[in-house]
Chains A and B, each alone.
Chain A
Amino acid sequence: DQQVKQNSPSLSVQEGRISILNCDYTNSMFDYFLWYKKYPAEGPTFLISISSIKDKNEDGRFTVFLNKSAKHLSLHIVPSQPGDSAVYFCAASGAGGGADGLTFGKGTHLIIQP
């Protein structure tokens, strides 16, 4: 049973527009939610995180929104750039944060069209 779900395997967005990647989870015990970006033949790299006590976190072009009642989070990238083309993974952890194992979704392949 998947505890973290990314229901869109791929997403195509025009350069300069907003990219919105979605993630749903089922486990109410998750304390932290993270987004990772992965290029082929490389390991995932951390983008942004949010604590379960917050509903929004911003870092430059990246904003993560958390809706606890809906068990849903989203990553907004504005404006989208060609270098953003990658696979994006949503992940969650318990109270231990990085000291806990992470639970990942299957990923969404974001393609930025010129």
Chain B
Amino acid sequence: SAVISQKPSRDICQRGTSLTIQCQVDSQVTMMFWYRQQPGQSLTLIATANQGSEATYESGFVIDKFPISRPNLTFSTLTVSNMSPEDSSIYLCSVPRLDRAVTQYFGPGTRLTVL
């Protein structure tokens, strides 16, 4: 099984600032996903990050707001830019589970509060 860590685990930020969230996996994976869970809502896919190529963003999410880096096969960052209170969410990264291709492993999440 893959072990995924995220930093920070939580943060409180002022509006207008940016926060970069790190996701580290203990094995090499081609694909990584970033999700957001707003309060009382479902997990929503933000983007898919493949190493060596630009991230692919879902409808409603743009690179200027959520730039993603994928410098190698075990690491990715998601930046939440120019934050507003509406960005207060749990942000999670995930990777496909190689032994059972139908599912994904998730990190513990980063709980972001924007004041």
Rounded to whole Å, the gap between the CB of B103 and the closest CB of chain A is 5
The verdict on A41 contacting B108 (CB below 8 Å), with A89-B43, A102-B45, A106-B41 known, is yes
Residues of A within 8 Å of B94, CB to CB, are 43
Residue-wise, chain B 43-55 has the 8 Å CB interface mask toward A (1 for contact) of: 1110010000000
The verdict on A98 contacting B102 (CB below 8 Å), with A42-B108, A43-B108, A43-B109 known, is yes
The verdict on A98 contacting B100 (CB below 8 Å), with A41-B108, A42-B108, A43-B107 known, is yes
Rounded to whole Å, the gap between the CB of A47 and the closest CB of chain B is 9
Please report the C-alpha to C-alpha distance between residue A41 and residue B44 in the assembled complex, in whole angstroms.
Answer: 17
Please report the C-alpha to C-alpha distance between residue A105 and residue B43 in the assembled complex, in whole angstroms.
Answer: 7
Residues of B within 8 Å of A89, CB to CB, are 42-43
| Contact of B58 with A101 in the complex, beta carbons under 8 Å | yes
| Contact of B44 with A99 in the complex, beta carbons under 8 Å | no
A42, A97, A104: the one within 8 Å of B44 (CB) = A104
| Contact of A98 with B43 in the complex, beta carbons under 8 Å | no
- How many residue pairs link A and B with beta carbons under 8 A? The number is 68
Residues of A within 8 Å of B31, CB to CB, are 99
Nearest residue in A to B4 (C-beta to C-beta)?
A43
Please report the C-alpha to C-alpha distance between residue A40 and residue B75 in the assembled complex, in whole angstroms.
Answer: 24
Residues of B within 8 Å of A101, CB to CB, are 33, 45, 48, 58
B60 within 8 A of A: no
Nearest residue in A to B44 (C-beta to C-beta)?
A104
Instruction: List CB contacts (< 8 Å) of A64-105 with chain B.
Output: 89, 91, 93, 97-99, 101-105
* Interface pairs A-B: 3 shortest CB-CB: A43-B106, A98-B96, A101-B45
Q: A36-B106, A42-B108, A43-B94 are in contact. List 11 more A-B contacts (CB 8 A).
A: A43-B106, A43-B108, A44-B43, A97-B102, A97-B103, A98-B103, A98-B104, A101-B48, A101-B58, A103-B45, A104-B42
